[in-house]
């Protein structure tokens, strides 16, 4: 549902094969009114006005901010404001969900984590990208489009995707481990160096789900069947879970990792406190920083079967509570 307190404006979200986000908009000449103003009747379909985009802190935000700056310079009556959310996934979720539950129109375009698309769509917080509002998904990775789809309808535009990596100390490990047994075999070197063997994200948030699922998958197990609904816990699932329990008990994974989210694990590895670390590609700049003790003694592996997972994806969606956006068919841009 779209609030009537401000005139509506349309934005075009176009995702290219290189996952470039392109924004265009059109809206009311009256400039609309702020959220504290009174109702002025039905929204105009030809209005112009400000648009607010929100997304978690990410190195890729710099590219988005450059696009916004170029747009604002050419469109003084349709200014776009970028609001970076908290760094942690749980805090980002809470920020967006609270505003949606309060029926706030503060956010117009929201970056939605792959784990939240279905929930947000089911709650009516996102507008479907269909009909005149459809985007061209040809050339996009199928998994990214699928993750932005709920009940057969696309609710988000894939923006960027990444994969899981295993970072390891080249001064302690000759080559990336290909199995969990190989990883454990390197632990005595970590113990001798006085550091942890392996760290990941085991705090009680979505990172825990990701880390546990990846380990269970590596053992051939799963939690749900291919339909995504039917429970599918088997011996391989139990084996993977037991490996995690045993690893905490024997010190392969330090107890401190139970408090680690992305930030803490990235900092710990960058400070030379672990032999190996599970993390996404965003960790690479930190590990290679001249200020990092492991800047010349770390590498990462994508091929290792230690880390088996589908690609994750960040998507951008139009808030159903937006008072400023209405959309028209998107045009693709490629780089």
The DSSP line for 283-327 is GHHHHH-TTSTTTTSEEEESS-TTS--PPEEEEEEEBTT-SS---
Higher pLDDT, 274 or 229: 274
Strand partners of residue 277: 167, 199
Residue 293 has a pLDDT of 53
**In which band, very low, low, confident or very high, does the pLDDT at 249 lie, cut at 50, 70 and 90?**
very high
Mean pLDDT of 64-87: 90
pLDDT at 299 over 80: no
Mean pLDDT of 23-40: 34
pLDDT at 203 over 90: yes
Mean pLDDT of 158-173: 85
Please tell me the least confidently modeled range out of 5-9, 47-51, 79-83, 278-282.
5-9
In CATH, what number does 10-161+313-318 get? 3.40.190.10
pLDDT at 205 over 80: yes
What topology does CATH give the domain 164-310?
D-Maltodextrin-Binding Protein; domain 2 (3.40.190)
Q: Say how far apart CA 248 and CA 264 lie, in whole Å.
A: 18
Please tell me the least confidently modeled range out of 59-63, 111-115, 132-136.
59-63
Residues 6 or more apart whose CB falls under 8 angstroms from that of 152 comprise none
pLDDT at 143 over 90: no
pLDDT at 78 over 70: yes
Residue 298 has a pLDDT of 47
pLDDT at 318 over 90: no
Task: For the beta carbon of residue 69, count every other beta carbon within 10 angstroms.
Answer: 11
pLDDT at 46 over 90: no
pLDDT at 253 over 90: yes
**In which band, very low, low, confident or very high, does the pLDDT at 258 lie, cut at 50, 70 and 90?**
very high
252 DSSP 8-state letter? S
Residue 324 has a pLDDT of 41
**In which band, very low, low, confident or very high, does the pLDDT at 284 lie, cut at 50, 70 and 90?**
low
Residue 264 has a pLDDT of 92
pLDDT at 87 over 50: yes
DSSP states along 125-191: -B----GGG----TTS-HHHHHHTEETTEE-SEEEEEE--EEEEETTT-SS--SSHHHHHHTHHHHH
% residues pLDDT > 90 (the chain): 36
CATH 3.40.190.10, the chain: domain bounds: 10-161+313-318, 164-310
Higher pLDDT, 160 or 274: 274
Residue 195 has a pLDDT of 96
Could you tell me if 50 and 324 are in contact, meaning their C-beta atoms sit under 8 angstroms apart?
yes
pLDDT at 326 over 60: no
Could you tell me if 40 and 34 are in contact, meaning their C-beta atoms sit under 8 angstroms apart?
no
């Amino acid at each position: 549902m779209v609030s009537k307190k401000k005139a509506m404006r349309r934005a075009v979200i176009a995702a290219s094969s290189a996952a470039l986000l392109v924004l265009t908009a059109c809206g009311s000449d009256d400039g609309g009114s702020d959220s504290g103003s009174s109702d002025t009747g039905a929204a105009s379909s030809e209005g112009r006005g400000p648009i607010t985009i929100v997304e978690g802190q990410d190195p890729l935000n710099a590219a988005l901010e450059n696009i916004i700056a170029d747009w604002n310079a050419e469109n003084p009556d349709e200014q776009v404001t970028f609001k970076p959310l908290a760094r942690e996934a749980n805090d980002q979720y809470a920020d967006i969900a609270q505003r949606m539950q309060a029926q706030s129109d503060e956010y117009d375009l929201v970056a939605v984590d792959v784990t939240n698309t279905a929930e947000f769509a089911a709650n009516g917080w996102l507008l479907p990208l269909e009909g005149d509002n459809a985007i061209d998904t040809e050339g996009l990775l199928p998994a990214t489009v699928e993750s932005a789809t709920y009940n057969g309808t696309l609710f988000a535009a894939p923006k960027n995707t990444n994969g899981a990596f295993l970072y390891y100390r080249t001064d302690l490990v000759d080559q990336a481990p290909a199995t969990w047994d190989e990883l454990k075999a390197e632990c005595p070197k970590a113990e001798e160096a006085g550091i942890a063997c392996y760290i990941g994200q085991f705090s009680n948030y979505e990172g825990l789900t990701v880390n546990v699922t990846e380990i269970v998958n590596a053992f051939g197990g799963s939690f749900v069947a291919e339909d995504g609904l039917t429970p599918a816990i088997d011996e391989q699932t139990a084996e993977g879970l037991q490996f995690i329990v045993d690893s905490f008990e024997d010190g392969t994974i330090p107890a401190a990792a139970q408090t680690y989210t992305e930030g803490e694990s990235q900092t710990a590895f960058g400070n030379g406190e672990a032999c190996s670390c599970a993390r996404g590609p965003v960790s690479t700049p930190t590990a290679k920083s001249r200020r990092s003790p492991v800047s010349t003694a770390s590498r990462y592996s994508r091929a290792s079967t230690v880390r088996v997972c589908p690609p994750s994806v960040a998507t951008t969606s139009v808030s159903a509570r937006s008072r400023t956006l209405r959309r028209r068919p998107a045009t693709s841009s490629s780089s």
